[in-house]
Amino acid sequence: MSLPRADSADICLLLEGTFPYVSGGVSSWVNQIIRGFPEYTFACCFVGSRPEDYGDMKYELPDNVVHLEVHYLHNFQRGAQKRSLKGNRKAYADLRRFHEMVKDGIHSRERSELFSRIVTHLGEGEDYSEESFLHSRASWDYIAESYREFSRDPSFVDYFWTIRIMHSPIWVLNDIADNLLPAKMYHTISTGYAGFLGAMLKRRTGKPLLLEGGGDGRLDFTYINDLVQGMVRALALHKGHDDSSTFNITFGNARTIADLAAVVKSVVPNAILEERPRAVDKPIRGTLSITRAQEKLGFEPEWTLEQGFKRYCEWYADQWQRAQMQVEAN
């Protein structure tokens, strides 16, 4: 079956493990949203795990879906050449420094510059290329050093493959962001890898921030430092393959989209914010219980929306100003 293709669309939906290849509540909501706005053209960017994990489409595509592309994040046949590489040790030292600053909650110009340097050198032949991550001595040494310093799991093999599996999708997402069709708005239906892709696209395109429901919708926002804390605790306390639990790693206090918008405005007063009524069939979400994570992991969130998201906005504004200065200088 050939997939519909277009050069552009009004709205591009970033769909991780959902519509149109997986049935369920979220997929049904996506299908209803698309059909409920026939005046707009939609592009769907589906990202999944592996081809064998999905069958045929579970939904017939609405007429206003003009573009569909499919990507698999855990595709280990991407073609990164298997050869011995030294890698750039200075680059991985910078990566270590960046990780340390994130872990310690340090927000500075140095951290912003390090992040910018890392995400702009993910391409082929660059310091942080997929080939370097998978096959360089510098990458191996950094992973081994991190294992000795941070891991409580006695198995280095498990740690090594966990790092690989978690990070490899970054280069798939980088390729998607480089080649995805232009749209007037990119909207991620979920967080996770699709959310990261959405952040990359917003960074590259500078599209306005869309607020649904006039800002009255509530979400349980989580700052990256708290997320990492929860993940590290879960990994450290994991007892083996038979130990399985689900945890909500959030702040435990839902806030309105209007609250988030106010933080944006406090940092970028001239930010363009669009308000639209919330779709009547869009689920209303709120506070998630973190009791299990607190009791079993000792997890305690530290970063409020005003603290965490403000730091992100300040970093983004700084990067935008730097980019403008570079353009003017050239």
Domains and CATH numbers, the chain: 1-76+169-207 (no CATH), 89-167 (no CATH), 214-270+281-330 (3.90.25.10)
Among the listed residues 15, 67, 40, the one whose alpha carbon sits nearest the alpha carbon of residue 279: 40
Q: Which of 126-135, 183-192, 199-208 ranks highest by mean pLDDT? A: 126-135
Q: Average pLDDT in the 222-229 region?
A: 89
Token code pair at residue 200: 């990359």
For the ranges 172-186, 202-216, 237-251, 276-290, the one whose mean pLDDT is highest: 172-186
Reply yes or no on whether the pLDDT at 103 is more than 80.
Answer: no
Q: How confident is the model at residue 217 (pLDDT cuts 50, 70, 90)?
A: low
- Residues 224-242 have a mean pLDDT of 85
CA distance 123 to 131: 9
Cβ distance 129 to 118 under 8 Å?
no
Residue 213: band (very low, low, confident or very high) from pLDDT cuts 50, 70, 90: very low
Q: What is the mean pLDDT of the chain?
A: 84
Sign of CA dihedral 291, 292, 293, 298: positive
Per-residue confidence band for 272, with pLDDT thresholds at 50, 70 and 90: low
pTM above 0.85, yes or no: no
207 has a pLDDT exceeding 90: no
Q: Is the pLDDT of residue 327 over 90?
A: no
Closest CA to 47 of 158, 249, 190: 190
